[in-house]
Amino acid sequence: MIEKVIVAGFGGQGVMALGKLLAYGGMLDDRQVSWLPSYGPEMRGGTANCDVIVSDTLIGSPVLTDDATAVIVMNLPSMDKFESHLAPNGKLIINKSLIEKKATRDDIEAYYIDANEIAMEIGNAKAANMVMLGAFLELTKIVKPESIIKAFTKVFGEDKAKFIPLNELALQRGAEAVKEQMAVS
């Protein structure tokens, strides 16, 4: 089992955090993991992205070019840039709240999640990244949601434990949102 994921959006959308939670959760599930950020001037306010690999076997290159099994895009520039990085039959998970466009490739699976709306419904717009992660986990089953929650305080610190219930809910709602589409497709 291996998932090679690109997570992309603009600074402040919790893209790096999503990737770290996924990697940390994967590690807690005894899988091999790597998390590689884009770094540089674009870190400050521009687009942000990271490559995450979760695998049962040793990870080769941590860099994803055109072999991603999944791409999670939080905004339109990210979708324009990274849709092409998906391997055939890869999963493109699109934040429908901010991206009106449809997937342009027909050799991939596309899922549309109202991440921002769902996050607002449950009380915090900042949880949109967790909604997207919930959808990804439901699709791939690569990491248990419980492990993501266990990783939460490891990544953000113990003082953020109070946000766990909100984030648990966000994961669930993301999973539910993608289930509806899986049933349709």
Q: Return residues touching another protein (CB under 8 A).
A: 20, 23-24, 27, 32-37, 39-40, 58-63, 65-67, 151, 154-155
Minimum distance of another protein from residue 37's CB (angstroms): 6
- Tell the smallest beta-carbon distance from residue 168 to another protein (Å): 20
| CA terminus-to-terminus distance, the chain | 23
Residue 66 has a CB neighbour count (10 Å cut-off) of: 10
Question: Where are the extended beta strands (E) located within the chain?
Answer: 2-10, 32-37, 47-55, 68-73, 86-95, 109-113
Which 3 state secondary structure label does DSSP give 31?
coil
Nearest approach, Cβ of 20 to another protein (angstroms)? 7
C-beta of 23 vs 118, nearer to another protein? 23
Closest to another protein by CB, 23 vs 171, is 23
Q: Which is nearer to another protein, 2 or 120 (CB)?
A: 2
Question: What is residue 102's DSSP assignment?
Answer: P
**CA 110 remoteness from chain centre:** 14
Q: How far is the CB of 123 from another protein (least distance, A)?
A: 28
| CB nearer another protein, residue 65 or residue 102 | 65
